[in-house]
């Protein structure tokens, strides 16, 4: 270590205002802030209060004005449609200004919400930036969510308008989005005044007269809209993420802190220079897509790649290497699960030999725990640094990482490395005392959180406080458990709540349990995340049937599996459930999910002293064995 990281981190905590006001010089402001950190309403901290800027201006217009107009801003690479298309900064700015004009014509104004329910097409990025341009607040909903999930978001965000597309394209099927959208609007109480629909050649959507208008038609004859100055503290977007109940949490992102933090992160964490090609293989429906497909790279003057495909099957496990070499990618970001999928199909990385990766420098992984095998395998075949880093939708950028633009710290397998500047990461025991080195506890961040992190939840200040700030006063609860070693390396081990991570997608088992419990034959249920060699975790359901139910159990299992797919969506990957007579519980009636998970994974467990009836564990073991789990690890 050169000490540069340590020095920067210490400075960021000792003098946060000086640290972040220096970083804010890299952003264009219409009006400078009055206060870097406004703590007058703590714990509701505000960054750059009084400042005015426009995020779209910083992401597009500014670069055009400074001579990047002809540089590629976005490369759309879509193996599922056989398309590769590049948009310069000048072109993207014009497309965004025109679509922003269409939004204005339909009455969308500063502060209005717009829901974007779209696949990975350039129009999704155009719609996001167009909202930012006019100060409207976008809320992108991932295409793999079912109508009910979309409806919950419509009712919470109350969008004036929805932007969608006729379909998404998965590996072997076209997914018509429009019927899902129609159903969601039917289910929701709030009604948008209009929907703008992109018709894709793979499926034509039927438009609802008076409400729906086609993408091109919506823009006919409109004047391009200019950037509208917004307050640094005004919301840029809302992104819903799984909470501990079926009601998702609307994470709010502000404009000022977000722009400052993301630009800083591009340079200091990812180590990319303006002009280079940066690729995050995620989806615009997730936080990684927001921060590192759209805003981060564009704020930094990079070329970003929008990839509509999978790591395998589009057409093969060499797809990532093809994209890296074809577009000259310098830095890539994806989830470990993508690399597990590639490893499964091409264990020796033979497809890599076909491509020129000479411009490729670093691979970043996040979204789920990175298992040592995957990290080592990626390092061995790429012969480049592979960097695990840890963050969450709430923070919008890395809490813990290896800051490649500051100093490449030694990699310790199993650790995403160290706390980033601005984050005062601590590990606390149940009483709120700091644990010593190597002792597991709740991973928390001492307040205030740095710029870019959530200032609150949408229309839910109280839930913000109760979910994140009330367990340990003065600290933000990340929801993850882990420890630090004596050198400050952080290890993230598991969640302390019911969130599971399926192929890098964050899901709530509590929400799945709510769905199972709604089946008329189900008396009780539990869902846990069982270890999976490809997806990291997959949900497994246990159901106890109501007395007197005589229907075949296989039928009921099939029905609950379908119910989760219909209510939450295919992304839940809920494919396995089993019927048990009773669930293991404590004497006070708490279901012993932790022990059940250990049994499912075949790891050592102790029968909890508080168990009501130890025989229930044997029943669970037998049920799990019947569906291929609970095998002892070799
Ligand atoms: N619209 C509609 N359906 C979608 C969808 C979308 N945008 N995205 C996924 N789905 C569906 C899939 O088709 C699949 O349906 P199925 O049950 O009929 O097969 C289901 O949701 C689960 O999808 P997924 O978790 O992606 O699994 P998969 O088996 O299709 O692919 C991987 C597995 C590992 C290849 C894939 O998850 C992947 O590429 N992961 C990369 C990680 C990533 O992007 N993480 C985001 C955070 S960084
Ligand atoms: P999301 O909000 O979807 O980005 O999910 C965030 C959660 O994913 C975190 O709270 C962790 O539980 C998990 N996670 C993300 N990145 C990592 C990582 N590098 N190591 C371990 N867990 C991670």
Q: Specify the range with the lowest mean pLDDT, choosing from 116-120, 218-222, 245-249, 584-588.
A: 245-249
Q: Look at residue 601 in the predicted model and tell me its pLDDT.
A: 95
In the chain, list all ranges with CATH 3.30.300.30: 506-626
Instruction: Tell me: pLDDT of 313 over 70.
Output: yes
pTM over 0.85: yes
Is the C-beta atom of 506 inside 6 A of ligand 2? yes
Query: 133-174: per-residue pLDDT in tens?
Result: 999 999 999 999 999 999 999 999 999 999 999 999 999 899
> Mean pLDDT over residues 251-263, rounded?
98
> Mean pLDDT over residues 445-469, rounded?
98
Is the C-beta atom of 495 inside 6 A of ligand 2? yes
Is the C-beta atom of 390 inside 6 A of ligand 2? yes
Highest mean pLDDT among 1-5, 239-243, 493-497, 526-530: 526-530
Q: Look at residue 243 in the predicted model and tell me its pLDDT.
A: 77
End-to-end CA distance of the chain: 38
C-alpha of residue 168 to centroid of ligand 2, in Å: 26
Is the C-beta atom of 317 inside 6 A of ligand 1? no
Residues 6+ apart with CB under 8 A from 401: 269, 364, 387, 389, 390, 391, 416, 417, 418, 420
Q: Look at residue 2 in the predicted model and tell me its pLDDT.
A: 67
Cβ neighbour number for residue 528 with a 10 Å cutoff: 25
Residue nearest to atom 13 of ligand 2 (CA): 368
**Residue 632: band (very low, low, confident or very high) from pLDDT cuts 50, 70, 90:** low
> Mean pLDDT over residues 382-389, rounded?
98
C-alpha of residue 241 to centroid of ligand 2, in Å: 12
Q: Which of 251, 506, 529 best tests ligand 2's pocket when mutated (most atoms within 8 Å of CB)?
A: 506
> Mean pLDDT over residues 315-335, rounded?
98
Instruction: Tell me: pLDDT of 382 over 80.
Output: yes
Residue nearest to atom 3 of ligand 2 (CA): 506
Which of ligand 2's atoms lies nearest the C-alpha of 495? 12
Q: Which ligand is nearest to the CA of 285?
A: 1
In the chain, list all ranges with CATH 3.40.50.12780: 4-309+389-482
Is the C-beta atom of 480 inside 6 A of ligand 2? yes
3-state SS, residue 26: helix
Query: 404-433: per-residue pLDDT in tens?
Result: 999 999 999 999 999 999 999 999 999 999
Residue nearest to atom 6 of ligand 2 (CA): 392
Q: What is the distance between the alpha carbons of residues 323 and 83, in angstroms, rounded to a whole number?
A: 12
User: Which residue is associated with the tokens 């002809």?
Assistant: 70
Q: Look at residue 242 in the predicted model and tell me its pLDDT.
A: 86
**Residue 634: band (very low, low, confident or very high) from pLDDT cuts 50, 70, 90:** very low
Is the C-beta atom of 121 inside 6 A of ligand 1? no
Q: Specify the range with the lowest mean pLDDT, choosing from 238-242, 279-283, 558-562, 628-632.
A: 628-632
Superfamily of domain 506-626: ANL, C-terminal domain (3.30.300.30)
C-alpha of residue 243 to centroid of ligand 2, in Å: 14
Which value, in Å, is the radius of gyration of the alpha carbons in the chain?
A: 24
Q: What is the distance between the alpha carbons of residues 81 and 375, in angstroms, rounded to a whole number?
A: 31
Q: What is the distance between the alpha carbons of residues 96 and 110, in angstroms, rounded to a whole number?
A: 16
Tell me the β-bridge partners of 331: 278, 362
Share of the chain above pLDDT 90, in %: 97
Task: Identify how many contiguous H helices and E strands the chain contains and give both numbers.
Answer: 20, 31
Is the C-beta atom of 582 inside 6 A of ligand 2? no
Which of ligand 2's atoms lies nearest the C-alpha of 388? 19
Q: Which ligand is nearest to the CA of 333?
A: 1
Q: Which of 368, 505, 572 best tests ligand 2's pocket when mutated (most atoms within 8 Å of CB)?
A: 368
Handedness of CA 350, 355, 356, 362 (dihedral sign): negative
Is the C-beta atom of 287 inside 6 A of ligand 2? yes
Average pLDDT of every residue of the chain: 97
Q: Look at residue 631 in the predicted model and tell me its pLDDT.
A: 80
Is the C-beta atom of 282 inside 6 A of ligand 1? yes
Q: Encode 121-162 in three state secondary structure.
A: CHHHHHHHHHHHHHCCEEEECCCCCCHHHHHHHHHHHCCCEE
Instruction: Tell me: pLDDT of 90 over 80.
Output: yes
> Mean pLDDT over residues 62-67, rounded?
98
**Residue 183: band (very low, low, confident or very high) from pLDDT cuts 50, 70, 90:** very high
Q: Look at residue 246 in the predicted model and tell me its pLDDT.
A: 72
Query: 2-24: per-residue pLDDT in tens?
Result: 699 999 999 999 999 999 999 99
Per-position b or e across 278-297, b if 16+ CB within 10 A of its CB: bbbbbbbbbbbbbbbbbbbb
Residue nearest to atom 1 of ligand 2 (CA): 392
Q: Which of 79, 120, 144 best tests ligand 1's pocket when mutated (most atoms within 8 Å of CB)?
A: 144
C-alpha of residue 232 to centroid of ligand 2, in Å: 27
Superfamily of domain 4-309+389-482: ANL, N-terminal domain (3.40.50.12780)
Is the C-beta atom of 175 inside 6 A of ligand 1? yes
**Residue 1: band (very low, low, confident or very high) from pLDDT cuts 50, 70, 90:** low
């Amino acid at each position: 270590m050169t000490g540069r990281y340590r020095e920067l981190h210490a400075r960021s905590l000792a003098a946060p205002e000086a640290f972040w006001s220096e970083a804010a010089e890299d952003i264009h402001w219409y009006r400078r802030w009055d206060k870097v950190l406004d703590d007058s309403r703590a714990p509701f901290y505000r960054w750059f209060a009084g400042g005015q800027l426009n995020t779209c201006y910083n992401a597009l217009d500014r670069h055009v004005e400074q001579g990047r107009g002809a540089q590629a801003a976005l490369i759309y690479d879509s193996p599922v449609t056989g398309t590769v298309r590049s948009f310069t900064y000048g072109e993207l700015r014009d497309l965004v200004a025109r679509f922003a004009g269409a939004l204005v014509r339909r009455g969308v104004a500063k502060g209005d919400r717009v829901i974007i329910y779209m696949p990975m097409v350039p129009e999704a990025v155009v719609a996001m930036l167009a909202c930012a341009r006019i100060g409207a607040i976008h809320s992108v909903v991932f295409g793999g969510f079912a109508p009910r999930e979309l409806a919950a978001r419509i009712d919470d965000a109350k969008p004036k308008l929805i932007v969608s597309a006729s379909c998404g394209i998965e590996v072997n099927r076209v997914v018509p989005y429009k019927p899902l959208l129609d159903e969601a609007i039917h289910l929701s109480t709030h009604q948008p005044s209009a929907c703008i629909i992109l018709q894709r050649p793979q499926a034509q959507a039927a438009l609802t007269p008076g409400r729906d208008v086609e993408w091109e038609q919506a823009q006919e004859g409109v004047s391009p809209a200019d950037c509208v100055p917004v307050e640094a503290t005004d919301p840029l977007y809302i992104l819903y993420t799984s909470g501990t109940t079926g009601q998702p949490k609307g994470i709010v992102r502000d404009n000022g802190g977000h722009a400052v933090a993301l630009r800083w992160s591009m340079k200091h964490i990812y180590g990319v220079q303006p002009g280079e090609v940066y690729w995050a293989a995620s989806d615009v429906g997730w936080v990684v897509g927001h921060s590192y497909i759209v805003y981060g790279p564009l704020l930094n003057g990079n070329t970003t790649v929008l990839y509509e495909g999978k790591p395998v099957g589009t057409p093969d496990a060499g797809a990532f290497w093809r994209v890296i070499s074809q577009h000259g990618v310098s830095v890539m970001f994806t989830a470990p699960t993508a690399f597990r999928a590639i490893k499964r199909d091409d264990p020796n990385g033979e497809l890599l030999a076909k491509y020129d990766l000479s411009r490729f420098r670093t691979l970043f992984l996040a979204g789920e725990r990175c298992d040592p095998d995957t990290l080592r395998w990626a390092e061995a075949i790429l012969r480049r640094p592979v960097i695990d880093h840890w963050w969450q939708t709430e923070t919008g950028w890395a809490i813990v990482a290896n800051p490649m633009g500051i100093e490449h710290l030694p990699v310790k397998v199993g650790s995403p490395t160290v706390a980033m500047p601005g984050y005062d990461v601590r590990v606390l025991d149940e009483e709120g005392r700091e644990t010593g080195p190597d002792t597991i506890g709740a991973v928390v961040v001492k307040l205030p959180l740095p710029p870019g992190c959530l200032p609150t939840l949408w229309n839910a200040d109280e839930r913000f406080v109760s979910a994140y700030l009330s367990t340990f006063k003065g600290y933000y609860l990340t929801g993850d458990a882990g420890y630090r070693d004596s050198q400050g390396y952080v290890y993230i081990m598991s969640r302390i709540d019911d969130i599971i991570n399926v192929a890098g997608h964050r899901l709530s088992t509590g929400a799945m349990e709510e769905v199972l419990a709604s089946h008329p034959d189900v008396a009780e249920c539990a869902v846990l995340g069982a270890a999976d060699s490809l997806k990291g975790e997959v949900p497994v359901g246990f159901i106890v049937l109501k007395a007197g139910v005589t229907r075949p159990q296989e039928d009921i299992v099939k029905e609950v599996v379908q119910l989760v797919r219909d209510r939450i969506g295919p992304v839940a990957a809920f494919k396995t459930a089993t019927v048990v007579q009773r669930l293991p519980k404590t004497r006070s009636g708490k279901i012993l999910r932790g022990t059940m998970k250990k049994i499912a994974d075949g790891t050592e467990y102790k029968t909890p002293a508080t168990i009501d009836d130890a025989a229930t564990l044997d029943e669970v073991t037998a049920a799990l064995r019947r569906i291929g789990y609970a095998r002892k690890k070799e």
